[in-house]
Amino acid sequence: MFQLKSKMFPVLLMLEFVLTGVSWALFRLEKISPAQNDLNISAHSMIELTFNNSVSVATITKQTFFIYGMQRGYYAWTLQSIEQNGKKIIIQPEKHFFAGELIYVTLTKNIEDKERNNLSKSYVSGFTVQATGGNMEFIVSQELKTQSQPNFLSSGDLENDGDIDIVVTNIASKSVSVYVNEQGSSFRKYSVFEAGSQPDWLALVDVDNDNDLDIAPVHWSSNDFYLFKNDGKLKFTNTQILEVGQVPFGITPIDIEGDGDWDFVHADSWGDGLTVLSNEGTGKYERHSTIVAEGNPERIAVGDFDEDFDLDIAVILWKINTCKIYLNNGVGNFSLKNEIEVGNNPLAITATDCNGDGKLDLLVGNFHSKNISVLLNYGNAKFTHIQTFESDNLPIYLTCNDFDADGDHDLAVANCRDTIITLFSNNGNGIFKKSSTITVGENAYCVTAGDWDNDGDIDLASVANTSNTLSILLNIPKKKPNAR
């Protein structure tokens, strides 16, 4: 008889909870707008959150909810309205987004409903801001001299003045250069500072949530990571040096746990692994984990490839001509999901929604094949290789954005050992066709995108490793039809 009672007890207990009105439903986010991986979002968009239970508004704070732009940093916000008995919250960013900017919205597990239940998981959701102009025809508006052998560049608003600035690594002169944007009209070299032994790649991100962008280069010859914090007035101070894996390449920001702090992952090419660096919340980093990735991992792309609201990793492996996908379990532990064969010696990768289906796809630059692979995501990080098209030379860096303002993301390719950036237009279904080329300096090594002149279209900038130049490429606005 005791055995019967013990088996019946969980059933009776559940019945009691139901009859007394206690809910067994986990507190969760049911809808977010803009939706995950959306393109063409207005620069003035608000964030709408819909939950399955009424939220405790007091728990939506600057420590539990974040809006982050990859070119502006953390966006301040205000609570605009509360609807549907507290199940729907509308939040207004205090500044407009930059055209073409990738935005992440993060909800941590510390948000509660009115019954004091925490969110069942953290949520990280990304979207891209629309371009409102552009013709995919570019002019070289400026050519600036750099230090010796510029290798990489990144862009962001370093001084919070509403203009996007540029940062360049100079591998031979062992330095980082800062170029400030003067009210959208032109760039000038503001400062150069020593940055350790041969800085190859850098991340530009607000590591300590103090409303300015910091600089984090990695050094392939000394196997370490430096962190330079910005004082808000463009003075950068080295606050940490951390030993990492063997011959590190491709440092990339990633929020591994959905806590609103930016961590890092980079490829250790000779170490056959990926090193994940965890941010303790104040911009101090420690080694979190190492992911095995045999075959000379080179570059990394980050995004939510399986639509479960956490950030995953895609890495290309030079030696075995493969792209590998590692999925995040939501708390920063990664497991291999998929391997896709690509071309010969892949050296460049970027993630975007190529065909507008709300899933992140991948484009891979195959260095010695001199071509680009298009990998479409058909859901749950299952990728299919749908197209390979020729580049003009050795593709060393890729960047995607909507350069012709037609609602889909196009591609710009930096061609190593050449003097051109090649542009490919997207037909909207993830099929790319060569559009034009832009002549820049000798040995084009990297290209990045942003709205330099704040006119709503997406411009480009490129560094050339042999001619030691930084080229600013402005997108020509579309001609307006003549009024009748």
Does residue 34 have a cis peptide bond before it, meaning omega lies within 30 degrees of 0?
yes
Element (H, E) at 2: helix 2-19
Q: How far is Cα 375 from Cα 423, in angstroms, rounded to an integer?
A: 18
At residue 364, the pLDDT reads 98
Q: How far is Cα 73 from Cα 160, in angstroms, rounded to an integer?
A: 9
Q: Are 213 and 158 in contact (CB under 8 A)?
A: yes
User: Whole-prediction pTM value?
Assistant: 0.93
Residue 3, SS3 per DSSP: helix
Q: How far is Cα 354 from Cα 299, in angstroms, rounded to an integer?
A: 20
Going by C-beta distance under 8 Å and a sequence separation of 6 or more, which residues neighbour residue 19?
none
At residue 24, the pLDDT reads 47
At residue 163, the pLDDT reads 97
Strand order of the sheet with strand 138-145?
138-145, 469-475, 459-464, 444-450
One-letter amino acid at 175 equals S
Q: Which of 141, 37, 9, 2 is nearest to 353 (CA)?
A: 37
At residue 1, the pLDDT reads 37
Q: Which of 390, 409, 382, 394 is nearest to 443 (CA)?
A: 394
What b-and-e string marks burial along 408-421, b requiring 16 or more CB atoms within 10 Å of the CB? bbbbbbbbbebbbb
At residue 481, the pLDDT reads 55
Mean pLDDT of each 10-residue bin along the chain, 484 residues long: 42 40 72 97 98 97 98 97 96 98 98 97 98 95 96 96 97 96 92 91 95 94 93 95 88 97 94 94 93 95 98 97 97 96 97 97 97 96 95 95 97 94 97 96 96 97 96 86 49
At residue 400, the pLDDT reads 98
Going by C-beta distance under 8 Å and a sequence separation of 6 or more, which residues neighbour residue 459?
138, 449, 450, 451, 452, 453, 472, 473, 474, 475
Strand order of the sheet with strand 334-341?
297-303, 312-317, 322-328, 334-341
DSSP 4-63: HHHHHHHHHHHHHHHHTT---PPP-EEEEESPTTEEEE-TT--EEEEESS-B-GGG-STT
Q: Are 464 and 444 in contact (CB under 8 A)?
A: yes
Q: Which of 477, 416, 391, 388 is nearest to 137 (CA)?
A: 477
Q: Are 420 and 440 in contact (CB under 8 A)?
A: yes
Burial class (CB in 10 A: 0-12, 13-18, 19+), 320: middle
One-letter amino acid at 426 equals N
How many other CB atoms are found less than 10 A from the CB of residue 147? 18
Q: How far is Cα 97 from Cα 45, in angstroms, rounded to an integer?
A: 8
